[in-house]
Amino acid sequence: MAFPYKKVLILGATSGIGLAFAERLVQRGLFVIVTGRRKENLDNFVQKYGSDKAAAVTVDLSKLDTLPGFAQTIKESHPDLDCVIFNSGIQRRSVFSEAEDINMDVIVQEMTVNYLSYLSLTKEFVPFFKPKDNPTAFIYITSGLALVPLLRCSNYCASKAALHQWILCVREHLKKFNIKVIEILPPAVQTELHDAKHQPDIVNGRSIGMPLEDFTNEAMDGLLRGDEQIPVGQSKLSFDTWEQQRQEIFHNWIKAMGLQP
């Protein structure tokens, strides 16, 4: 099955998973709008592939009040946009037995970038996708840690769990429109997420998890199959067992109560 979308906005495409998706999609002939804070990385991408195949827009997703304006700029410049990949994210240590080291500004930033900014931008793009006749999609990158948390990054896990729970509802909310809601749940992947510049207590963070290329292959296979939920690697352990049972209860509630919220 082909990827049915033609123009994709990728949040957080300056490194890691977002950059890997940007590369794969532009190589498949899609037009890709790459975003993030690091302008140099974005400009390098456009220079590499050409402005007929890619565009770059800088954005800081922690600044929630700027996001409606950012979305408006994208919608005006790219009226044919049909897919948004919500991928940007940060992970920080948050161990509450060391409460004196918890910085609430960092907690708020993590929750804002990983969760609230996704809601804000989904709110901006739903009315834009709703009237389209062609297929459109929101693709959200959560984490296996949305299902089973890790002690060292409790707030990160909570932000991803919140996102996962919210996505289940949004998929149902948008079912009557031509808007597909897809979730990818990565396991640990070798990217900058665990680098010492972000998490100084981790030694050799770049070697943690699955090689980026293997992850991207598996995730792309899921996207090309048209799957709505794509657990990759270790994330399948919990997804294929009790998470399926939990979602069965969710769908039984919908059957019993109907889709009207």
Ligand X SMILES: NC(=O)c1ccc[n+]([C@@H]2O[C@H](COP(=O)([O-])OP(=O)(O)OC[C@H]3O[C@@H](n4cnc5c(N)ncnc54)[C@H](OP(=O)(O)O)[C@@H]3O)[C@@H](O)[C@H]2O)c1
Q: What does the per-residue mask of binding to ligand X show for 93-132, with x meaning CB under 6 A?
A: --------------------x-------------------
Residue of minimal Cβ distance to ligand X? 16
Does 231 bind ligand X (CB under 6 A)? Our answer is no
Does 170 bind ligand X (CB under 6 A)? Our answer is no
- What the block records as the tokens of 90 is 């940060």
Look at the block and give the residue holding tokens 């019993």.
Answer: 256
- What the block records as the tokens of 168 is 């289940």
Among 8, 9, 17, 71, binds ligand X (CB under 6 A): 17
Q: Please give the residues from 130 up to 149 whose contact with ligand X meets the rule CB under 6 A.
A: 141, 143
For residue 133, give the amino acid letter: D
Cα torsion angle, 112, 113, 119, 125, sign: positive
Q: Measured between alpha carbons, how far is 79 from 40 in angstroms, rounded to an integer? A: 26
Q: Is 216 exposed, middle or buried (0-12, 13-18, 19+ CB in 10 A)?
A: buried
User: Shortest approach of ligand X to residue 17 CB, angstroms?
Assistant: 4
For residue 158, give the amino acid letter: A
Q: Which stretch binds ligand X (CB under 6 A): 48-56, 98-106, 189-197, 222-230?
A: 189-197
Look at the block and give the residue holding tokens 């954005």.
Answer: 59
Pick 30 or 67: Cβ nearer ligand X: 67
Q: Which stretch binds ligand X (CB under 6 A): 57-65, 76-84, 127-135, 241-249?
A: 57-65
Q: Measured between alpha carbons, how far is 111 from 156 in angstroms, rounded to an integer? A: 7
- What the block records as the tokens of 124 is 């901006």
Q: How many residues bind ligand X (CB under 6 A)?
A: 29
Does 16 bind ligand X (CB under 6 A)? Our answer is yes
Are the CB atoms for 102 and 144 separated by under 8 Å?
no
User: Shortest approach of ligand X to residue 39 CB, angstroms?
Assistant: 8
Binding region for ligand X (CB under 6 A): 12-18, 36-38, 59-62, 87-91, 113, 141, 143, 186, 188-189, 191-193, 209
